[in-house]
Chain A
Amino acid sequence: MSLDFHEQITMLSNQPILLCYHCHKCTAGCPVVEEMEFGPDRILRMVQLGERERLLKSRDIWLCAACETCGTRCPNGIDIAKVMDALRLEALRSGVTPAEPDAAKFHKLFLFVVQTLGRSHEASLLIAYKLWTLNLLADMDSGLQLFVKGKVPVLPKSIKGRDQVRRIFLKSAEAVAKENLPSANPASAQEAK
């Protein structure tokens, strides 16, 4: 049986989304709300209502800076940054084109990184995604070139350390495939249930 969207996001984020009574405190303090289409409390309402399409296509999920201002203030202890992360993950898995074009650029870069690591698989994609997002900053003004050329010390210096990291990537990728952990393909994830 497949979970409905609200249950799925609740599980992924481990947050009591239904507790939100829309007091708007989160939205009032969100630093990027002016750029958003809906803002954090309406995003939660849409999750409650199961508006999957609109949410996954929304630019808001890519604009959230995970600053935790909202989570720190919410009277019901809802950590909205976690809900936003769950929505981003779901969007990536469903192959929805991100509403923010530069987020899409990121996405391509991760794919590149993953390919250079040897295998394009979700586990390594996600690791690469997390590993590499912020490190673009290390060489921001000279563009992505240095980064792509491997000038940023993201990996260990020693050959041994690099080999170990590569082994871990591949091993986790295999485990994900074998154990049918949530996969990049929503169709196969549904079948598995």
Chain B
Amino acid sequence: MAIPYFPGCTLSTKASGYDRSGRAVAQALGLEFQELPDWQCCGATFPLSTDNAMTLIAPTRLLRQAQEAGGQMTTLCAICFHVLRRTQNFLQEHTDVLERINWFTEEPYLGQVRVTHFLELLRDQLTWETLRANVSQPLKGLRVAPYYGCLLLRPPAEIQLDDPDDPHILHECLEALGCEVITFPYQSECCGSYLAVSKPTVPQQLAQDILASAQHHGAQALVTACPLCQYNLDYPQQSVRGWAIKPLPVLYFTQLMAVALGLPEQVWGMEGHSVDPRPLFEPYRATVA
């Protein structure tokens, strides 16, 4: 089954390992990603002020492309997902704004596209049982801590993906891969988000707390669905001195899927990480026939 897919800016550049592993696992599971033909940046933040609806033009142009591609679209980036789903909800409720945006874009968007995060597709369409059945290299004994962060879950009334206080979707995915899944108290604390640009000391402090807590609970790696969380938690481990924690790899869930599905190392996309996660996977390498 072909699924219209929006990679977004970050997955085309900095987080290309997320994109590569995501496309590969989707294909291995029979869900082929079909990149939207002529996309641009989604806007990267959902406009929160009421008279700021102009900034919805960018995400609406993408929804319109998904409409042409068959009425649904999926994303891997938690930020793009957050922006697109909230835009979709907003336009469904505010038809006057939709009309106005359509006047600007001159290409009517009808307001009906279903935006999903890839995790949601796996849970609701593919099912965890099917995922489990496709695992050839179960990650038995690998202790991983899902890290949800903010944008994938909040605000819950609009995002409606999972319970923000007790989320399960990443847990279930990793359990299906055979991992030992660890719940730790910082799993949905904020990583500091875009303060990485304007005030990096804030995310650095938050990252230390998050990583230390995960490590304290026995995690060998942290697993996320957000390129910004990945950056904030991984990059400072190499660049900031004097941290009182051992290096802890920070992975995308699609990367663990790629290993567990027995896909070749070229599609794991783990080269660019500050803390190299590859040594963790030595025991789980598919033996080449």
Taking CB atoms, residues of chain A closer than 8 Å to B125 are: none
Q: Does the CB pair A68–B154 fall under 8 Å?
A: yes
| Contact residues of B between 154 and 188, Cβ < 8 Å to A | 154-156, 164
Q: Of A13, A71, A134, A182, which is within 8 A of B194 by CB? A: A134
Q: Does the CB pair B38–A156 fall under 8 Å?
A: yes
Taking CB atoms, residues of chain B closer than 8 Å to A11 are: 50
Question: Is residue A21 within 8 Å, beta carbon to beta carbon, of the partner chain?
Answer: no
Taking CB atoms, residues of chain B closer than 8 Å to A176 are: 54
CB<8 Å pairs between A and B, sample of 27: A12-B51, A31-B192, A32-B190, A34-B205, A65-B202, A66-B48, A68-B151, A68-B154, A69-B189, A69-B190, A79-B155, A85-B49, A89-B52, A131-B43, A132-B41, A134-B45, A135-B41, A137-B14, A137-B194, A137-B228, A139-B14, A140-B14, A154-B40, A154-B41, A158-B38, A168-B104, A182-B51
Query: B-facing mask of A144-172, CB < 8 A → 1, else 0?
Result: 00000000111111101100110010011
Taking CB atoms, residues of chain B closer than 8 Å to A32 are: 190, 192, 195, 202
Question: Is residue A112 within 8 Å, beta carbon to beta carbon, of the partner chain?
Answer: no
A135, B228: Cα distance in complex, Å: 10
Residue among A65, A81, A82, A84 with the highest chain B CB neighbour number at 10 A: A65
A31, B50: Cα distance in complex, Å: 25
Closest A residue by C-beta to B274? A141
Closest A residue by C-beta to B100? A175
Query: Nearest Cβ in chain B — how far from A151, in angstroms?
Result: 8
Query: B-facing mask of A6-35, CB < 8 A → 1, else 0?
Result: 000001111000000000000000011011
Q: Does the CB pair A134–B44 fall under 8 Å?
A: yes
B-to-A contact residues, CB < 8 Å: 9-10, 12-14, 38-41, 43-45, 47-52, 54-55, 57-58, 61, 79, 104-105, 150-151, 154-156, 164, 189-190, 192-199, 202, 205-206, 227-228, 231, 235
Query: Nearest Cβ in chain A — how far from B122, in angstroms?
Result: 24
Taking CB atoms, residues of chain B closer than 8 Å to A102 are: 197-199
Question: Is residue A192 within 8 Å, beta carbon to beta carbon, of the partner chain?
Answer: no
Closest B residue by C-beta to A30? B190
**Given A71-B154, A137-B228; A157-B58 close (CB under 8 Å):** no
Q: Does the CB pair B45–A165 fall under 8 Å?
A: no
A147, B47: Cα distance in complex, Å: 22
Question: Is residue A181 within 8 Å, beta carbon to beta carbon, of the partner chain?
Answer: yes
Residue among A130, A132, A135 with the highest chain B CB neighbour number at 10 A: A130
Question: Is residue A117 within 8 Å, beta carbon to beta carbon, of the partner chain?
Answer: no
Q: Of A106, A126, A156, which is within 8 A of B198 by CB? A: A106
A-to-B contact residues, CB < 8 Å: 11-14, 31-32, 34-35, 62-63, 65-69, 71-72, 79, 81-82, 84-86, 89, 100, 102-103, 105-106, 123, 126-127, 130-141, 152-158, 160-161, 164-165, 168, 171-172, 175-176, 181-182
Q: Does the CB pair B206–A131 fall under 8 Å?
A: no
Taking CB atoms, residues of chain A closer than 8 Å to B228 are: 134, 137
A63, B38: Cα distance in complex, Å: 34
Taking CB atoms, residues of chain B closer than 8 Å to A155 are: 40-41
Q: Of B52, B192, B196, B198, which is within 8 A of A62 by CB? A: B198
Query: Nearest Cβ in chain B — how far from A116, in angstroms?
Result: 15
Taking CB atoms, residues of chain A closer than 8 Å to B192 are: 31-32, 65
Taking CB atoms, residues of chain A closer than 8 Å to B206 are: 31
Query: Nearest Cβ in chain B — how far from A174, in angstroms?
Result: 10
Q: Does the CB pair A68–B155 fall under 8 Å?
A: yes
Q: Does the CB pair A138–B13 fall under 8 Å?
A: yes
**Main SS at interface, chain A:** helix
Taking CB atoms, residues of chain A closer than 8 Å to B79 are: 134
A130, B87: Cα distance in complex, Å: 14
Taking CB atoms, residues of chain B closer than 8 Å to A31 are: 189-190, 192, 202, 206
Q: Does the CB pair B197–A72 fall under 8 Å?
A: no
Q: Does the CB pair A140–B197 fall under 8 Å?
A: yes
Q: Does the CB pair B40–A172 fall under 8 Å?
A: no
A105, B199: Cα distance in complex, Å: 12
Taking CB atoms, residues of chain A closer than 8 Å to B150 are: 65, 67-69
A153, B15: Cα distance in complex, Å: 13
Q: Does the CB pair B49–A103 fall under 8 Å?
A: no
A171, B101: Cα distance in complex, Å: 11
